Amino acid sequence: MDKMTPEQRHRCMSRIGSRNTRPEMIVRRWLWRQGFRYRVGVKSLPGTPDIVLRRYSTVIFVNGCFWHGHDCEKFRVPSTNTAFWEAKFSRNQARDRRVYKQLHEMGYYVLVVWECQLEAPRRLATLQALSTRLAEIYLDTHQAKPRPYGDGDDAAPGIAAEPQD
């Protein structure tokens, strides 16, 4: 443990902080009470999404505003080691974008809930909006369609069309 560079230590801390956090538990308890069933911390998916709702083809990330660099009043770049932190936040944001894109290409809807959206007085509205979005996704994905993940731009990559000539 002593041999870690500051950067490794921060990464380690961020990982510890990313599991079973209070904001994540707020979302999980809400979903469970609403009757949604899910898996947590699915390592086989890119980015190890916090919550996976397979029936809804949906993954949910509950992001801390600090580590993920949310553009809100909770996020401030620390005034010491500013360059280090700025580089770290932009790496985190780039990784997030990459992971969301990969999941989208696998056919998942990717929903992000921010820590600041789970604070009173916004919490209830955030959670209700989440339930509404999941209901919409369920309707989208369970209507009679030729493919499981919708049509057009949501289609999984690599499915070739019949050659037309």
For Zn ion, the binding residues (CB under 5 A) are 65, 70, 72, 74, 114, 116
Closest distance of CB 73 from Zn ion, Å: 7
Closest distance of CB 81 from Zn ion, Å: 22
CA dihedral in degrees (33, 122, 68, 36; nearest 10)? 20
Q: How many angstroms separate the most distant Cα atoms in the chain?
A: 66
How many Cα atoms are found within 13 Å in the side-chain-facing hemisphere of 16? 6
Distance CA 109, CA 154 (A): 9
Nearest to 24 by CA among 42, 51, 54: 51
- CB closer to Zn ion, 16 vs 72: 72
Closest distance of CB 65 from Zn ion, Å: 3
Which residues make Cβ contacts (< 8 Å) with residue 97, sequence separation at least 6? none
- CB closer to Zn ion, 75 vs 149: 75
58 close to 114: Cβ distance less than 8 angstroms? no
- CB closer to Zn ion, 42 vs 116: 116
Closest distance of CB 117 from Zn ion, Å: 7
- CB closer to Zn ion, 95 vs 122: 122
